[in-house]
Amino acid sequence: MKHLLKVLRSPAVRWGFLAVALVFIVWFVWNNWTEIADALAELSLVALALSALASVIYVLFTLEAWRSVVRDLGNPLGFRSSVPLFGISQLGKYIPGGVWNIAAAAELGRAHGIPRRHSVAAMSITLLVSIISGVAVGVIAFAVSPGPLFQQWGWVIWVAVPLLVLLVPAIMNRVISVAWKLAKLEPLDTSISTRGLTATIAWSVAAWITAGMAVAALAIGMGAPLTLLTIAQCIGGYALAWTAGFLFIVAPAGAGVREVVLAASLAGTVDPGAAVAIVLVSRVLLTAVDLSLAGVGVVDARILSRRGRD
């Protein structure tokens, strides 16, 4: 991690990082454009608009989950300042490797007076909470999905439950401490509090619910029944799909893995063609939100920089 941070200090590397991230995003959209166009043609504007709105709220909730940790570690960070920092760093999700968004956040955070070790810790804790809460919420998919795949793998519920112990502040801080020693990083001078961790968990769960609602809007718009069962299935399915995609670190933003798991969670509720359309449109909407947030962040950062020079 130290070597990554040193590399990212170069302005040329920062712009190169953004360029590579954009290439991966464009590649995904281009490679699936035919299916995407067909799916958009079948969707109503109302369903698409509701899903897009929920996608925006989902990303903002994930931002707040991360900001809760940053602030709890002793770094006051306003919402406006957090947008460019979080938005740009999240483009790292689209580069295979699973650590680029963490490394980018650490480097970008310097402009806001946030020590690198705090930025790395904040993003790491946020991701760990997202994974654990995602698995916990994803259990819903196993409990309610009529698909045969999930019925056969119901035992994963019992594997997920023990992970919840990691959400205890004392245990979470211990895990981070051990991880820092193994990675030979500079020791932290602070730790996550019960209040800070609780806020992060709450924002993360709210994010999973909102992301699931975005998928549900698409599914219902393509023929799924408007029931609590469908909504619960979409919420749990997306949380599980995101977690699986994140853990498969060689895929940019979990591309491919997330779609397979989400499509499997929708099996039995919508036909296979609709499932493919749903996962593709969902991916495009979230990609568009990520790009938009990063774009807003870049523009806003320039405005603030110019005001500072005036």
pLDDT confidence of residue 153? 57
The pTM of the full predicted model, rounded to 2 decimals, is 0.77
pLDDT confidence of residue 212? 93
pLDDT confidence of residue 121? 80
pLDDT confidence of residue 204? 94
pLDDT confidence of residue 298? 72
State which residues of the chain have pLDDT below 50: 1-2, 4-5, 8, 250-251, 253-254, 309-310
pLDDT confidence of residue 8? 47
pLDDT tens by residue, 45-95: 898 899 999 999 999 999 999 889 888 888 787 777 777 777 777 776 666
For the residues of the chain, what is the DSSP string, one character each?
A: -HHHHHHTTSHHHHHHHHHHHHHHHHHHHHHTHHHHHHHHHHS-HHHHHHHHHHHHHHHHHHHHHHHHHHHHTT----HHHHHHHHHHHGGGGGSTTS-HHHHHHHHHGGGGT--HHHHHHHHHHHHHHHHHHHHHHHHHHHHH---HHHHHTTTHHHHHGGGGGGGSHHHHHHHHHHHHHHHTPPPPS----HHHHHHHHHHHHHHHHHHHHHHHHHHHHTT---SHHHHHHHHHHHHHHHHHHHHSTTSGGGTTHHHHHHHHHHBTTB-HHHHHHHHHHHHHHHHHHHHHHHHHHHHHHHHHHHHHH-
pLDDT confidence of residue 115? 73
pLDDT tens by residue, 139-152: 776 677 666 655 55
